[in-house]
Structure 1
Amino acid sequence: MIQLSLLQDVAEYVRGRVDKVVLNGSYEIRDFQVKQVTGETLALNYLVPVADVQSITLVELKDASDTVLTAHTVNVPITADHLMLQTIKVEEVAASG
């Protein structure tokens, strides 16, 4: 069993690595309304302006060297400025074998 304190440390590490959100492969967001860890969960809140993005089909989190940390295919129409909430939960997964 992994201790909660280690899971929290990993979540803090991930928070430090995330530098930006990239939408649809090109639109970068570096300003987070919230970028914080609570327990073993990293929460990211960021604003998607409708003037710049009318729909979201791909959400990537990247580090400062532009390496993709996570990528998710989505289908989110944007009809007004939109506050996105994205969470990453660090948890232990039982080994199969």
Structure 2
Amino acid sequence: MISQQYLEELAKYTEQKIAKVVLNGTIEISEFNIKEVDASTVMLQYMVPATAVSEITTIELRDITNEIISTNTVYVPISSDTVLMQTVKVKEVA
């Protein structure tokens, strides 16, 4: 079993690595309203301007060198400026 303290350290490391969100492979968002760790969960909150995209089909988290940390396939229609909250949970899988 992995200790909770180590899971929290991994979450902090992950939060520090995240430099930006890339929507649909092209739209970069590097300003976060919230970017923090709570226990072993990374929480990100960011604004998606309606002028940037009409729908979101993929959300990527990338580091400073543009390497992908995670990718999620989604469907989020955007009809007005939208605030998204995304979480990354670091946990042990048995």
TM band (smaller chain): over 0.9
Q: Distance in 2 between matches of 1:25 and 1:93?
A: 29
Q: Distance in 1 between matches of 2:74 and 2:88?
A: 16
Deviation at 1:25, TM superposition (A): 0.5
Residue 82 (structure 2) aligns with: 82
Q: Distance in 2 between matches of 1:12 and 1:92?
A: 16
- Greater Rg by CA: 1
Residue 22 (structure 1) aligns with: 22
TM-score, L = length of structure 1: 0.95
Q: Distance in 2 between matches of 1:65 and 1:52?
A: 23
Q: Distance in 2 between matches of 1:84 and 1:13?
A: 22
Partner letter of residue 83 of structure 1?
V
1:32-62 CA-to-partner distances (Å, cap 9, x unmatched) read 0000000000000000000111110110000
Partner letter of residue 44 of structure 1?
L
Residue ranges of structure 2 left out of the alignment (5+ in a row) = none
Deviation at 1:72, TM superposition (A): 0.8
Aligned-residue sequence identity (percent) comes to 43
Matches within 5 A, 1:61-76: 61-76=61-76
Matches within 5 A, 1:26-41: 26-41=26-41
Task: Look up the SS of the partner of 1:84 in the other structure.
Answer: strand
Task: Report how many residues are paired.
Answer: 94
Q: Would you say 1:60 and 2:88 are equivalent positions? A: no
RMSD between aligned residues: 0.5
Q: Would you say 1:48 and 2:48 are equivalent positions? A: yes
Residue ranges of structure 1 left out of the alignment (5+ in a row) = none
- Runs of 4+ in structure 1 off by over 3 angstroms are none
TM-score, L = length of structure 2: 0.98
